[in-house]
């Protein structure tokens, strides 16, 4: 009798242990950026979708020091999902630029590309500048020194034979650049911004302006050398009076994880994200620009779970 009771007790214990294991909750942290930008609310929206729709999983977004800090925390296993600028992701993966003192982070994996940030090149309608090549010798608002905008502009100009030696760079914030163009203190604005950008919209209320497009061949050349700068377009009608799409380079933020994250979990996160993207879109208008067609435009390898998901969607062969 005792042996039967013991056997029954062991069976019940095993069933309880299996049930507990099945119901165990996976907790994920999502590193974003400062609370003043759009990445933090995006992270919160993604965390909400994961928690609601990925079984036995809870996610929490937190503000951080952005890309470099996020990469270092992910590499140490101190966070699970991060938002990254594509150049930082590429340099971390290759162990170059600001990560040149570190070993290449070959386990860094992307799971999707975020919305585009366009390098918008603007002149007054009366300007004689028609192409980027015409900007040699001009006063150009290039962004704050060392910022993502300024680095991108320096690369674009250099590919057109323009250096800071043969033009006059002006290190200005976006609002300062707009005021300078209004007052005739710069000839060109080059700024990486979402679209429509409030600063550009404000400029258009008081001045007639034109966008300078990038040549398709140059776009391709720059992308081949710097894969995190991708050919893109600002859709017609984005700005008042803009009747045609405007071709320009853009970069897209990346949602990234470590390669060791389980394939099934990454797959389930993406399945929930795209099935319930309408909930994310309600948080900020710019989140509507996160599209399935652009999801795989990343400069680092995709996670295996992401490859499975996007292959099923026909985006990867």
Give the list of residues 6+ apart from residue 150 with CB closer than 8 angstroms, or none: 142, 143, 144, 171
Domain range for 171: 117-251
Residue 281 belongs to some domain of the structure? yes
Split into its structural domains, the chain has a count of: 2
Regarding whether 122 and 172 lie in a shared domain, the answer is yes
- Copy the structure tokens of residue 193: 């911004």
Distance CA 38, CA 269 (A): 20
Tens of pLDDT, residue by residue, the chain (317 residues): 545 544 555 555 554 454 444 458 999 999 998 776 688 899 999 999 999 999 999 999 999 887 888 999 999 999 999 999 898 899 899 998 878 899 999 999 999 999 988 999 999 999 999 999 999 999 999 988 866 788 889 999 999 999 999 999 999 988 899 999 999 999 999 998 888 888 899 999 999 999 999 999 999 999 999 988 989 999 899 999 899 999 999 988 999 999 999 999 999 999 999 999 999 999 988 899 999 998 998 999 999 999 999 999 999 98
Residue 19 belongs to some domain of the structure? no
Residues 105 and 95 sit within 8 Å (Cβ to Cβ): yes
Regarding whether 133 and 235 lie in a shared domain, the answer is yes
- Collapse the DSSP code of 209 into the 3-class scheme (helix H, G, I; strand E, B; otherwise coil) and give the result: strand
Regarding whether 86 and 206 lie in a shared domain, the answer is no
Distance CA 192, CA 248 (A): 10
Cis? peptide before 109, omega within 30° of 0: no
Regarding whether 169 and 256 lie in a shared domain, the answer is no
Domain final residue, candidates 251, 278, 304: 251
What CATH number should be reported for the domain holding residue 97? 3.40.190.10
Regarding whether 125 and 100 lie in a shared domain, the answer is no
Regarding whether 181 and 289 lie in a shared domain, the answer is no
Regarding whether 190 and 240 lie in a shared domain, the answer is yes
Residue 278 belongs to some domain of the structure? yes
Regarding whether 132 and 221 lie in a shared domain, the answer is yes
pTM: 0.71
């Amino acid at each position: 009798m005792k042996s039967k009771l013991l056997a029954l007790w062991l069976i019940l214990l095993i069933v309880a242990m299996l049930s507990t294991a099945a119901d165990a909750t996976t907790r994920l942290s999502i590193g974003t950026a400062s609370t003043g930008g759009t990445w933090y609310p995006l992270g919160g929206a993604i965390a909400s979708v994961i928690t609601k729709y990925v079984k036995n999983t809870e996610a929490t977004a937190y503000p951080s020091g952005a890309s470099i800090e996020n990469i270092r925390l992910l590499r140490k296993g101190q966070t699970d999902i991060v938002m990254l600028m594509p150049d930082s992701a590429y340099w971390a993966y290759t162990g170059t630029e600001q990560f040149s003192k570190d070993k290449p982070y070959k386990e860094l994996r992307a799971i999707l590309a975020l919305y585009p940030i366009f390098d918008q090149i603007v002149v007054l309608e009366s300007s004689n500048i028609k192409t980027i090549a015409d900007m040699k010798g001009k006063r150009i608002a290039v962004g704050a020194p060392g910022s993502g905008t300024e680095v991108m502009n320096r690369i674009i100009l250099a590919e057109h034979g323009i250096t800071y030696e043969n033009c006059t760079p002006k290190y200005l914030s976006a609002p300062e650049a707009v005021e300078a163009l209004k007052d005739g203190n710069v000839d060109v604005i080059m700024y990486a911004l979402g679209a429509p950008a409030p600063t550009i919209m404000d400029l258009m209320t008081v001045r007639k302006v034109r966008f300078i497009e990038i040549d398709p061949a140059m776009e391709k050349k720059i992308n081949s050398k710097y894969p995190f700068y991708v050919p893109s377009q600002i859709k017609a009608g984005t700005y008042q009076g803009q009747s045609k799409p405007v071709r320009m380079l853009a970069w897209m933020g990346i949602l990234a994880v470590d390669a060791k994250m389980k394939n099934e979990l990454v797959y389930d996160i993406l399945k929930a994200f795209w099935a319930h993207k309408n909930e994310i879109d309600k948080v900020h208008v710019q989140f509507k620009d996160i599209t399935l067609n652009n999801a795989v435009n990343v400069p680092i390898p995709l996670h295996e779970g992401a490859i499975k998901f996007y292959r099923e969607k026909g985006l990867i062969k």
